[in-house]
Amino acid sequence: MYQSLTGNHPKVPWRRILCNNHSTPKSQFILWLALWRRLPTLDRLIKWKAVDSDICVLCNSNIESAEHLFFECPTSSLVWQKILSLLQLSRPTGGFTYEIQWMLKSSTGGKHQLLMIFFAESIYSIWLNRNDRIFNQHCKPPTELFKEIQFRVAAKAV
């Protein structure tokens, strides 16, 4: 009965990143939107003719897309590097797709659960910082973002 009601749908490859993630509900929702590429980034908004420019508001140098905003942008890349360093993971950062693929490959071990929380909270904090820059003309530096993410993760990991 359950199968006939729900239907047979293919599983998304990133379900391990979102399912059983103990991050805050808000960050899980933003992560879910980002994984589906449904966040209203400037590259999408310009297609709808809702904005005039699609230049990233955090670095003012590239087109803002989910791929760029999450970990290609110098601001978010620095935050993610600090998180990886904290977790004693030494590797270069890439774009959003690259990071998702890496997370899926490295989804074993004791640090996995903590890494997933950090990932979700990072996406959420970067998104909030981006929105704060657009709507309030205020932008937190990467070190402050990192401390904020650390606090959120510590609060959830207890």
What pLDDT, on the 0 to 100 scale, is given for residue 11? 85
What tens digit of pLDDT does each residue of 21-45 get?
899 999 999 999 999 999 999 999 9
| pTM of structure | 0.91
What secondary structure, in 3-state letters, does 35-102 show?
A: HCCCCCCHHHHHHCCCCCCCECCCCCCCECCHHHHCCCCHHHHHHHHHHHHHCCCCCCCCCHHHHHHH
Each residue's pLDDT tens digit, 83-121: 999 999 889 999 999 999 999 887 666 678 899 999 999
Lowest mean pLDDT among 55-59, 109-113, 143-147, 149-153: 109-113
Q: Which residue has the tokens 């997370």?
A: 103
CB-count exposure of residue 116 (10 Å: 0-12, 13-18, 19+): buried
Distance CA 81, CA 89 (A): 9
Residue 4 falls within a domain, yes or no? no
pLDDT greater than 80 at residue 49: yes
DSSP letter at 9? -
Q: How many domains does the chain have?
A: 1
Percent of the chain with pLDDT over 70: 97
Query: Is residue 141 in a domain?
Result: yes
Q: Is there a domain that residue 1 lies in?
A: no
Domain membership flag for residue 3? no
68 CB-contact burial (10 Å; exposed 0-12 / middle 13-18 / buried 19+): buried
Q: Are 103 and 113 in contact (CB under 8 A)?
A: no
Residue 87, in any domain of the structure: yes
Note down the domain range covering 100: 13-157
Q: Which residues pair with 55 in a beta bridge?
A: 63
146 domain-assigned = yes
